[in-house]
Amino acid sequence: MSTTEERRATNASSIAEAFRITASERPDQIFLRTKEDEVSLTFAQSLERVDAIAGGLAGLGLTKGDTCALLIGNRPEFALCDLAVTMTGGVPFSIYMQYTPEQIQFVVSDAGAKILICEQQFLAGVLEARKELPDLAHVIVIDGEAPEGVTPLAEIEEAQSDFDVEASVAALGPEDVLTLIYTSGTTGPPKGVQLCHRNLLSAVQAVEQTVQFPDAARVISWLPSAHIAERAAHHYLPIVYGMTVTSCPNAKEVLSYVAAVKPSWFFAVPRIWEKLKSGLEAMISGKEDDEREQAEGAIAAAIQKVRLEQAGEEVPAELAAAVAKADEALFSKLRAQLGFDQIEAVNVGAAPTPPEVLEFFHAIGIPVAELWGMSETCGAGCVNPPDKIKIGTVGPPSPGVEVKLAEDGELLMKSDVVMLGYRNLPEKTAEAIDEDGWLHTGDIATIDEDGYVTLVDRKKEIIINAAGKNMSPANIEATVKSSSPLIGQACVIGDRRSYNTALIVLDADFAPAYAAKAGIQDASLEALAENEQVRAVVQKGIDDGNEKLARVEQIKKFEIVSGDWLPGGDELTPTMKLKRKPIAEKYKDAIEAMYAG
């Protein structure tokens, strides 16, 4: 990346201008593609299509400041439509794919969108929601047949228009709203976080300064586009820094995409890393005795080396040599097989990650680093630099970010990445951002002498037991989940109680596989929840987790919940955060039974 190019793209007044600059600098580089290149669009081809769609949308009346809803999965058309709206000066925002018609109606109404663009698979829900959306003038479908009252995207793209895209982009400024990110709604209706062009331009520069990506870096689009992590990492960052984006439409297949794409940067939630660790350990345990013992010994030595390095202690030459030999013979081949052999940075966030999971990947040469951010901060906040990772922390503040602690330990943050405010909620905005410009994050944290931040838990979710002891349910849950691949979700109960209990959800992928191996005939989650053999394995996982917890944090009783908890359902937000109050209400009888007697 040339200095001139970096200066031009990052000094743009808007994301729209940045994309036009990047496209002019990299016309022949692939911008958007699918795994097998069924779709493969260069920056120049993408710009041509973006401008054509923008002209069609302008013809429908979309203009500066107007909102446009997108209900599109991980496919190239998302980026094309999102950018097209941006070129008009409009404000695109995404809807979670799991949303019901009622939830679609809420966010579309709150945003005041007059246009909605969706995939065929979501059209029925959109049309149901439309019955309660009198101001939604146009529904556009990007694929398949368009029923009466719905316009195909091809018609929009092919419409002749006198729209002056250059003039429209020139009229955009850094403080104009770029997008809305609706919060996951753990404690009430989703709030529309208003992010301006300045916010995201600052955020992607902070990421690039930390990671320093190679030219033509590669990323995989696989998280929900309604989530800020997807938006920032796999959309705005590639726009500004000229990256190639491979779309992965099914999140469950993302690890196969990693192997094929060999990304420059990869971000995933803790559960992905926990499952990958379990899978690798199972693979090793299935080897012949000599090979298995050799691999397990190599990993144990490498973990020992990681722990010494993290403690700032000297690594004995003999140990360093043994790990280097293991890396050459085993770990390097493993990284190449997984697709992590060309990685510049690899991160985890959105929930606590057990240290032993991070140590494992560091040991095999995949230095997974925790980071922290919020919708309100464009996903930027704190991040471990790839060459200075402190396991157990989310790293120091990103470049351009200031942090400090309030008297009660709440993490406060000030930066150009902090949102303009919540849409239509001035009182909530005033609660979140004080008069001095500090964002009150809602997270309790500590900051060490090197400026590295460690998160304790959400301020509103801290458990205070009957004896007055403060505990982090999220950290307890992370410890329990990492102790058994059979445990998919755990919800710890214990506030104002004399001991902790947990609701356990079986892992929908691992549990049936375990049942088949164990000879259990009925492998449904409902049946397995009642199976004593399964309960015994879960109990072993709870016991192993308890050994890593303080006595007061340990789980004394648990209940295996029938079925699964799905994103966007009664128990989980679309970003898989626990809805603690609804869970407490729904499973009230099961919870009380664990405390009876």
Residue-wise DSSP of 473-514? HHHHHHHHHHT-TTEEEEEEE-TTSSSEEEEEEE-TTHHHHH
Residue that has been written with the tokens 């992965």 in this structure: 248
Residue 3 confidence (pLDDT): 40
pLDDT above 90: percentage of residues in the chain: 78
What's the CATH number for 270-341+343-459? 3.40.50.12780
SS3 266: strand
DSSP letter (8 states) at residue 519: T
Joined together, the tokens standing for residue 156 give 């929009």
Cβ contact 378:203 at 8 Å: yes
Residue 1 confidence (pLDDT): 40
Q: Which element (helix H / strand E) includes 323?
A: helix 317-326
C-beta neighbour count of 337 within 10 angstroms? 10
Instruction: Please give the single-letter amino acid code of residue 580.
Output: R
Cβ contact 429:376 at 8 Å: no
Region(s) of the chain under CATH 3.40.50.12780: 3-264, 270-341+343-459
Please, is 314 exposed, middle or buried when counting C-beta atoms within 10 Å of its C-beta (0-12, 13-18, 19+)?
exposed
Instruction: Please give the single-letter amino acid code of residue 352.
Output: P
Cβ contact 77:61 at 8 Å: no
Cβ contact 32:46 at 8 Å: yes
254: pLDDT strictly greater than 80: yes
259: pLDDT strictly greater than 90: yes
In whole angstroms, what is the distance from residue 364 CA to residue 541 CA? 24
For residue range 317-351, list pLDDT tens digits in order: 999 999 999 999 999 999 999 999 999 989 998 77
Helix, strand, coil percent content, the chain, rounded in steps of 5? 45, 20, 35
Residue 297 confidence (pLDDT): 93
Secondary-structure class of domain 3-264 per CATH: alpha beta
Looking at 25-29, 205-209, 216-220, 417-421, which range is the least confident one?
A: 205-209
In whole angstroms, what is the distance from residue 201 CA to residue 258 CA? 27
In whole angstroms, what is the distance from residue 116 CA to residue 130 CA? 10
In whole angstroms, what is the distance from residue 82 CA to residue 74 CA? 12
Q: Which element (helix H / strand E) includes 355?
A: helix 355-363
SS3 574: coil
**What DSSP string runs through 27-49?**
TTSEEEEETTSSSEEEHHHHHHH
What is the gyration radius of the CA atoms in the chain, in angstroms? 25
Region(s) of the chain under CATH 3.30.300.30: 462-595
Residue 6 confidence (pLDDT): 46
Residue 337 confidence (pLDDT): 94
Mean pLDDT on 429-445: 94
Distances 443 to 27, 355, 406 between C-alpha atoms, Å: 43, 20, 11
Residue 319 confidence (pLDDT): 96
573: pLDDT strictly greater than 70: yes
Mean pLDDT on 243-269: 94
DSSP letter (8 states) at residue 233: I
Mean pLDDT on 96-109: 93
DSSP letter (8 states) at residue 351: S
Query: Which sign does the torsion angle of CA 251, 252, 257, 258 carry?
Result: positive
Residues 6+ apart with CB under 8 A from 431: 440
In whole angstroms, what is the distance from residue 268 CA to residue 338 CA? 14
pLDDT band at residue 286 using 50, 70 and 90 as cut-offs: confident
SS3 346: strand
Residue 512 confidence (pLDDT): 92
> Terminal CA-to-CA distance of the chain, rounded, Å?
67
In whole angstroms, what is the distance from residue 185 CA to residue 9 CA? 34
376: pLDDT strictly greater than 50: yes
301: pLDDT strictly greater than 80: yes
Cβ contact 398:382 at 8 Å: yes
Instruction: Please give the single-letter amino acid code of residue 28.
Output: D
Residue 466 confidence (pLDDT): 84
In whole angstroms, what is the distance from residue 303 CA to residue 113 CA? 52
Mean pLDDT on 64-87: 98
Mean pLDDT on 578-582: 90
184: pLDDT strictly greater than 80: no
Instruction: Please give the single-letter amino acid code of residue 543.
Output: D
Residue 5 confidence (pLDDT): 43
In whole angstroms, what is the distance from residue 430 CA to residue 432 CA? 5
Residue 119 confidence (pLDDT): 97
Mean pLDDT of the chain: 92
- The neighbouring-strand residues paired with 346 are 266, 368
In whole angstroms, what is the distance from residue 375 CA to residue 439 CA? 12
In whole angstroms, what is the distance from residue 354 CA to residue 480 CA? 9
pLDDT above 70: percentage of residues in the chain: 98
Is the CATH code 2.40.110.10 the one for domain 462-595?
no
Mean pLDDT on 158-170: 93
Mean pLDDT on 300-323: 95
Residue 180 confidence (pLDDT): 97
Mean pLDDT on 128-144: 96
2: pLDDT strictly greater than 80: no
Give the Cα-Cα-Cα angle 122, 254, 374 (nearest 5 degrees). 75
For residue range 30-50, list pLDDT tens digits in order: 999 999 999 999 999 999 999
pLDDT band at residue 569 using 50, 70 and 90 as cut-offs: confident
For residue range 195-230, list pLDDT tens digits in order: 999 999 999 999 888 888 889 999 999 999 999 999
Mean pLDDT on 48-76: 97
The count of residues in the chain is 597
How many Cα atoms within 13 Å fall on the side-chain side of residue 225? 29
SS3 345: strand
186: pLDDT strictly greater than 80: no
